[in-house]
Each structure stands twice: as structure tokens, then as C-alpha cells.
């Protein structure tokens, strides 16, 4: 996907929606595909990068790194670096990140039901 110009009308509209609509703002933090998967997995506890990569096999290292950085910048995850050899880095949900847990649980339940209903059609 190509990056949009800073002057893009589409980008301006998206930014205005994020400012004006709490629902769109929340969805923008959670992202589309990988961020919800990362957040869902993180509700199980603290993870190291390699553990997350194994827990979400289809994600590339590049995408995992990018999304972990974005989730940290958005205040949903913390990244702790331990000064030891070899270096150890752990990711954990912040208080704000944990506040998403019931929402993620409901989305998961809804997804299971919708998937079953669609399969019956």
C-alpha cells in the first residue's frame, strides 16, 4: 500500500474522523488485522518478541516490529529491556491496553457466532 501525501484529502478526512468520533479513534488504535491479534494474545500475559512471533505465525517480523512500536507509541503496550546478555525484551499490556480486554473478548465471541451463522447459510 502506498503512503499518502500529507496534503491528501483522504488523510485529512481520516484524521478528522479520529478527532470527532470516539469509535473511529478506538478502531484506529486497534488497527485492522495484526494489532487486534497482538492485543488478543497479549491478554494472556507478558511476551517476548520470539514468543509473539510463534504465537501469531502468519505475521512477518517486520510487521510485528512495526505494530509493537505503534502499540507502544499509542500507550497500549510497554516494552521493557533488561540489561543482560543476551538482551531480553518483554512486552506487556498497559492499563489502557488491559481496558480493551472485555471488548476484545466480546469481539471474539461475536466473531465465533457470526462465523458459525455464515457457515450455516
Whole-number pLDDT of residue 75: 96
Q: Supply φ then ψ for residue 15, to 5 degrees.
A: -65, -40
Q: Any idea where the domains of the chain sit in the sequence? A: 1-30, 31-120
How remote is the C-alpha of 99 from its chain's centroid? 13
Whole-number pLDDT of residue 114: 85
| Class level of CATH domain 31-120 | mainly alpha
Average pLDDT by stretches of 10, the chain with 121 residues: 58 66 72 88 96 94 96 96 92 97 91 86 83
DSSP assigned state of 87:
-
Whole-number pLDDT of residue 18: 60
Residue 74 CA to residue 72 CA, distance in Å, equals 5
Amino acid at each position: 500500500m502506498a503512503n499518502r501525501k500529507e496534503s491528501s484529502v483522504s488523510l485529512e478526512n481520516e484524521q478528522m474522523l479520529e478527532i470527532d468520533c470516539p469509535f473511529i479513534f478506538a478502531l484506529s488504535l486497534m488497527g485492522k488485522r495484526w494489532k487486534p491479534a497482538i492485543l488478543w494474545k497479549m491478554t494472556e500475559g507478558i511476551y517476548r518478541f520470539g514468543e509473539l512471533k510463534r504465537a501469531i505465525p502468519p505475521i512477518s517480523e517486520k510487521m510485528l516490529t512495526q505494530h509493537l512500536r505503534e502499540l507502544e507509541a499509542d500507550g497500549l503496550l510497554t516494552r521493557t529491556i533488561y540489561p543482560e546478555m543476551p538482551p531480553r525484551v518483554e512486552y506487556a499490556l498497559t492499563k489502557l491496553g488491559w481496558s480493551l480486554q472485555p471488548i476484545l473478548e466480546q469481539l471474539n465471541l461475536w466473531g465465533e457466532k457470526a462465523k458459525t451463522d455464515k457457515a450455516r447459510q
